[in-house]
Homo-oligomer: A and B are copies of this chain.
């Protein structure tokens, strides 16, 4: 029996992405976004949504660039902190010991300790009420070499990306592989 929960944001899974940008003074900053996802294959692009009052917002608007550093389970406390305080008031990199690295292809910093990085130029903004959705065009993806399969595919069981559960507000990580995509469904293909 399904229960109606009203018009809210209880979709699953949500990512836990550190959105890196330089602020208006050029200081590296990062905030956590759970509202985001891939949105296109060619050009490769993704969305992250940010409230206009956030420190990150002005930085992205000024520099027209941001990074996404995928937060790994072993650094959940550091990731969580990036979502608790504002870069207006403190240097979150210094507070946590995380290391900002300037991207070699967009004008934004990423988190060196996080295993998987997506570097984006700002392509467009979409006003959606309390959030503005940034559409970023992906210029490069970088991954720790020891977390790749076949030297090119990021392995979720090594990256251990955090997954946010809106509602319970819990962080989980990925579990075991359940099936292969474009394979498990073959049993329903008609043989004729």
Residue on B nearest A120 in the bound complex, by CB: B7
On whether A181 and B169 interact (CB within 8 A), knowing A10-B143, A37-B37, A131-B41, the answer reads yes
On whether A76 and B179 interact (CB within 8 A), knowing A85-B189, A156-B165, A159-B12, the answer reads yes
Copies in the complex: 2
> How many residues of A are in contact with the other chain, CB < 8 A?
107
On whether A143 and B174 interact (CB within 8 A), knowing A39-B47, A185-B83, the answer reads no
Q: Please report which residues of chain A, range 114-131, place their CB below 8 angstroms from some CB of chain B when the two chains form the complex.
A: 116-118, 124, 126, 128-131
Taking a contact as CB atoms under 8 Å apart, the answer to whether B152 and A40 are in contact is: no
Give the residues in chain B near A187, CB-CB below 8 Å: 77, 81
